[in-house]
Amino acid sequence: MVASNSAVVLIVEDEPLIRFNILDVLEDVGHVALEAANADEALVVLKGRQDVDILFTDVNMAGSMDGIQLAKRVRAMRPNIGIIITSGMVRLDPMALPANAAFLPKPYLHDTLISAIDSLMA
């Protein structure tokens, strides 16, 4: 699969193997992938990069906040960023998400993630 629009995607995932795998998949289809191991690192990346199009975050992470709190903070700071939240433990109702946001339950297919990014970029 090839991305229809190239996006700058910030991957926030505390499991290094999962993070590296997603990074490779997104770069293989033409996206620019940035990474952070937790919400605190993600906020540092976002302060230094104004070109981030999509935040892709896990819910459960170590650090000062979880992925849901991070998503709310990012939405307040940068309302135009698309947000994709994922979790294998928590199920979020897609109707309860803010505009320009999506939920992907784990495990997800890489094509599903790529499609979610494409739909948020449209």
Using one digit for the tens of pLDDT, what is the confidence trace for 58-87?
999 989 999 989 999 999 999 999 999 999
Is the pLDDT at 97 greater than 80? The verdict is no
Euclidean distance between CA atoms 114 and 95, whole angstroms = 21
Share of the chain above pLDDT 70, in %: 96
Euclidean distance between CA atoms 85 and 83, whole angstroms = 6
What's the gap between Cα 29 and its chain centre?
16
CB 64 within 8 A of CB 36: no
pLDDT reported for residue 75: 93
Is the pLDDT at 118 greater than 70? The verdict is yes
pLDDT reported for residue 22: 97
Domain ranges of the chain: 8-121
First to last CA, the chain: 17
Residue among 59, 69, 50 at smallest CA distance from 8:
50
CATH superfamily, region 8-121: Response regulator (3.40.50.2300)
